[in-house]
Amino acid sequence: ETGVTQTPRHLVMGMTNKKSLKCEQHLGHNAMYWYKQSAKKPLELMFVYSLEERVENNSVPSRFSPECPNSSHLFLHLHTLQPEDSALYLCASSYSAANYGYTFGSGTRLTVV
Amino acid sequence: EDKVVQSPLSLVVHEGDTVTLNCSYEVTNFRSLLWYKQEKKAPTFLFMLTSSGIEKKSGRLSSILDKKELFSILNITATQTGDSAVYLCAVGGNYGGSQGNLIFGKGTKLSVKP
């Protein structure tokens, strides 16, 4: 384990479902991130939270809704997804949003059917 | 548009070989370049480079940055099967208030055969 825990590890959902991805870190980090990793594409930044405040929304569709209730937890709420949203969703954390020393979680493999 | 390009995209070698992975970048207000190893899911940190010409080493791995030519290389000597992974290059620049953003390349998939 890296210190950043993501659940579930795998998720299959229909296009009309609502589900949530969870990320948890107890490393004392103040910044948390969601990245999307699709096949044959670079990791794409989705959201950045610093001290529980969203500081970046990288043009992500509204069917993805992040939530950061405290500096240790980050959620990604999913609803009415499309098959092209199937990907590995990685959570990461770092000491601050200006610090590149990311620790990544193992990701959630999402399949939208 | 900011971008990070890695080459080759995939590479097959035999144990004991030495490999060099390449990363070139075009990023506004460059701050740092990072290398990660991704074996199954979670990328793990290898190196962070901020200054040109200073080699960083960790065991059989080493990396160097050239800020004039805008590229970095990652060398692995005496490769082992456990080095098989996707190696990711990422570059961080100043993007207004979100300075922690990293732009990733597509990665180089390294396969080391026994």
What's residue A27's pLDDT? 94
pLDDT digits (tens, 9 = 90+) for A35-68: 999 988 899 989 999 888 887 777 899 999 999 9
pLDDT digits (tens, 9 = 90+) for B84-97: 999 999 998 765 54
Is B48's Cβ below 8 Å from some Cβ in A? yes
pLDDT digits (tens, 9 = 90+) for B42-80: 899 999 999 899 999 999 999 999 999 999 999 999 999
* Mean pLDDT across chain A: 92
* DSSP-derived 3-state class of residue A48: strand
What's residue B94's pLDDT? 63
pLDDT of B106 higher than 60: yes
Of the candidates B42, B45, B37, which has an alpha carbon nearest to the alpha carbon of residue B88?
B37
From B22's Cα to the closest Cα of chain A, the distance in A is 15
From B99's Cα to the closest Cα of chain A, the distance in A is 5
- Give the number of residues written for chain B: 114
Task: Kindly state the tokens that stand for A59.
Answer: 């043009």
**Which backbone phi and psi does A85 adopt, to 5 degrees?**
-85, -5
pLDDT of A25 higher than 80: yes
What's residue B97's pLDDT? 46
Mean pLDDT, range A104-113, rounded to an integer: 95
What's residue B28's pLDDT? 80
Please state, for a pLDDT cut of 90, what percent of chain B lies above it. Answer: 78
Neighbours of A110 (CB within 10 A): 21
pLDDT digits (tens, 9 = 90+) for A82-92: 999 999 999 99
Is A56's Cβ below 8 Å from some Cβ in B? yes
pLDDT of A96 higher than 80: yes
Longest CA–CA separation in chain A, Å: 38
Find residues 12-41 of chain B whose CB sits inside 8 Å of chain A.
31-32, 34, 36, 40-41
* Range list of H helices, chain B: none
What's residue A59's pLDDT? 82
